[in-house]
Amino acid sequence: MSKETKDKKKKLALHWKILIGMGLGVLFSLLLLTTSWGSSMTTIKVKGEDFAISNAELFVRNWIKPFGNMFINALKLIAVPLILGSLIKGVSDLKDISKLSKMGVRTILTYLATTLIAVSIGLMIVNIVQPGKTITQETRENLIENYSGEAGKRIESAAEQKENGPLRALEDLIPDNIFNAATDNGNMLQVIVFAIFFGVGLILIPIDKSGPVKAFFDGFNEVILKLIDLIMLVAPIGVFALMAGLVVESPSQDLFVALLWYAISVVIGLLFMIAVYVLLVWIFTKRTPKFFLNGISPAQLLAFSTSSSAATLPVTMERVEEHLGVKEEVTSFVLPIGATINMDGTSLYQAVAAIFIAQAFGMDLDLYAQLGIIATATLASIGSAAVPGAGMVMLVIVLAQAGIPEAGLALIFAIDRPLDMLRTTVNVTGDAAVSMLIAKSVDKLGDPQVKDWDDHYKKEA
C-alpha cells in the first residue's frame, strides 16, 4: 500500500470534521459558562447605554464569533458567481434550441413541477410541525435582540411591499442593470433570470462565436466549484465559532430540541417526496414501485455516500438505461439536465430551513412571503451545483430573498451533512423518475437490457 493511499485512509471526512467542530463549539461555550470568570457579569456601553453581559459572551463575541461571521460572508460572497457560472453552463449545455421543442420543454416543465411539489411539501410539513416554535420566548427574544438589525430590515421591507402594486414582483424579475443586481443577494431572482437569458443567447448564436464564451463559463464554473471546496475546508472552524456564539448568546436546551424537530421535518419531507416519485412512475408508466426502486437503488446509495448527484451521474445513467428500460437518447438528454437543474431534495430542505429559521427568530411569514420562498427555492435549485455543500450556499439566497437573517445558518449547519446525503439521494431519485416519465411520453420506454461487464469481450471472442 502506497504512502498516498495510507494518507487518504487516515484523512478524516469533512462531515465528521464539521460535526466535531459543532461539538467542540458547544462544549467550549458550556465549559466557559460554568467557570466563575465566564459566568460573572460585566458592563459594556452600546450607543451610550449600559448593558450587562457575561464575560463568556463578551469573550466569544469579540474573539470567536468573528470567524463564524467571516465564514457566513464567504458563503454569501460565492452565491452570485455560483448562480451565474452553473446556470449559464447548464442552459448552454442544451446546445440546440430545437431540443427545447418536444422533449426539452417536457423535461424542464416536469422538473419544475416536481420541484414545486417538493417545496410545497416542505412548507406544509414545517408549518404543521413548527420546529422553530418549540424555542421558548426568552430564547427567541435573545435571538431577536442579537440580530435586531436584520429584523429591522425585514420590517422595512414588509412596509415597502404594502405600497407596491400587484405586478411589482413580476416587474422586479427584470433588472435594469445586471451589475447592480449582482451586488445584492436579495436581488438573486434577477440574476437567475439574466443567467437563463444569457444561456439561451449562447445557444442561438453560431458555435464559432459562442464556443469561446461557453468555454469561459465552463472554466469559470469549475473555478467557483473549487472555491466552494476551499470554503468548505474551513467549515469546521466556522461552525465552531457559530455554535460557540449561539450557545453563549442563548444557552438553552430548547434550542437543540428544536434542531432535532427540524431534522425530523426534513426527513419526513424527503420520504414524502420519494413516495411521490414512486407514485408518478406507477401511474404514468405502469412500472411497480419494486421495479423502480430495485433499478435505481445502487445510484441512490452512491448519491447518499458522495452527496453529489454529479458524481453519481454515470451510475444513474447506467441504471436508468439498462435496468429501467429508458432509451439512450432520453437518458443522455434528460439526466445531465437533471443533475444541473433538478434539486428537489435541496429545494425541500431550503423551504423547511427557511421557515424554521424564521420561526426561531419569532418571524411570522405571511402567505405572500412563503409563496416567494417557493419561487426562489424553485429557481435557485436550477443553478444549484451538484456538489456537496452547494445547497447551503443556495439557502443563503432563499433567506436573503425572504428577509430572514442569514446568521440563522448557525442553527442548522451542524447537521447539514447527514441531511445533505439524504437530499442528494432524493435528487437522484427524481432524475430517474422524470427520465422514465419523459421516455414514456415520447415512446422511448422499453424493457430493461442489462449488460454484463464482459459483454464486449464475449463479442470479440
Tens digits of residue pLDDT in 208-238: 898 899 899 888 877 887 887 787 788 888 8
Classified as helix, coil or strand, 61 is: helix
pLDDT at 414: 57
Task: Identify the helix (H) or strand (E) that includes residue 42.
Answer: strand 41-46
- The grid cell for 291 is 421495479
Instruction: Answer for the pair 185, 84: CB distance below 8 angstroms, yes or no.
Output: no
Q: What is the rounded CA–CA span in Å between residue 90 and residue 218?
A: 9
Contacts of 39 (CB under 8 A, 6+ apart): 33, 54, 55, 56
Contact 393, 79 (CB under 8 A): yes
pLDDT: is 126 or 382 the higher one?
126
pLDDT at 461 over 80: no
Which of 190, 187, 92, 119 minimizes the C-alpha distance to 342? 119
Most confident range, picked from 183-197, 214-228, 447-461: 214-228
Distance CA 144, CA 249 (A): 11
* pLDDT higher than threshold 60 for residue 207: yes
Among candidate residues 217, 187, 246, 276, the one with its CA nearest the CA of residue 28: 246
Q: Which pLDDT does position 275 carry in this prediction?
A: 95
Q: What is the mean pLDDT of the chain?
A: 77
The whole-angstrom separation of Cα 164 and Cα 168 is 6
Distance of CA 217 to the CA centre of its chain: 22
Q: pLDDT confidence of 270, banded at 50, 70, 90?
A: very high
Is the overall model pTM greater than 0.85, yes or no? no
Report which of 342, 353, 313 is spatially closest to residue 434, judged by C-alpha positions. 342
CA dist., res. 403 & res. 399, Å (int): 6
Cβ atoms < 10 Å from Cβ of 127: 15
What SS3 class is residue 1?
coil
pLDDT at 24: 92
The answer on pLDDT for 156 being more than 60 is: no
Helix 390-402 with 367-382: angle, nearest 10 deg: 150
CA angle 23, 28, 29 (to 5 degrees): 105
Residue 151, pLDDT > 50, answer: no
Give the model's confidence band at 80: pLDDT under 50 very low, under 70 low, under 90 confident, else very high. Answer: confident
With 90 as the cut, is the pLDDT of residue 282 above it?
yes
Rg (CA), the chain: 24
Phi and psi angles of residue 43, each rounded to the nearest 5 degrees, phi first: -110, 130
Question: Is the per-residue pLDDT at 31 higher than 70?
Answer: yes
Task: Spell out the residues 6+ positions from residue 341 whose beta carbon is closer than 8 angstroms to its own.
Answer: 90, 108, 111, 381, 382, 383
**What's residue 18's pLDDT?**
75
Measure Cα distances from 296 to 216, 279, 323 in Å: 35, 15, 8
How far apart are alpha carbons 459 and 461 in whole angstroms? 5
User: Residue 268's pLDDT is what?
Assistant: 93
- Average pLDDT (124-148) is 72
Beta strands in 162-229 (DSSP E): none
* pLDDT band, very low/low/confident/very high, at 185 (cuts 50, 70, 90): low
What pLDDT does 271 receive? 94
Q: What is the pLDDT of residue 103?
A: 75
Cell reading at 218:
465552463
How far, in Å, CA of 139 to CA of 79, rounded? 30
Which pLDDT score, from 0 to 100, does residue 69 have? 83
Percent of the chain at pLDDT exceeding 70: 74
Lowest mean pLDDT among 26-40, 139-153, 290-304, 376-390: 139-153
C-beta separation of 83 from 397 below 8 A:
yes
The Cα–Cα gap between 344 and 431 comes to 9
Closest C-alpha to 423, from 121, 143, 209: 121
What confidence score (pLDDT) does residue 166 get?
A: 55
Residue 402's Cβ-side half-sphere holds a number of Cα atoms within 13 Å equal to: 34
Asked if pLDDT for residue 155 goes beyond 50, the answer is no
Centroid of chain to Cα 387? 10
Show the cell assigned to 306: 458522495
The pLDDT tens digits for 291-319 are: 999 888 888 887 786 677 766 777 788 88
Q: 427 versus 160: which is more confidently predicted?
A: 427
Instruction: Report residue 28 CA to chain centroid gap.
Output: 29
Cell numbers at residue 60, please? 466569544
> Which residues lie below 8 Å from residue 237, measured CB to CB, with a gap of 6+?
21, 67, 71
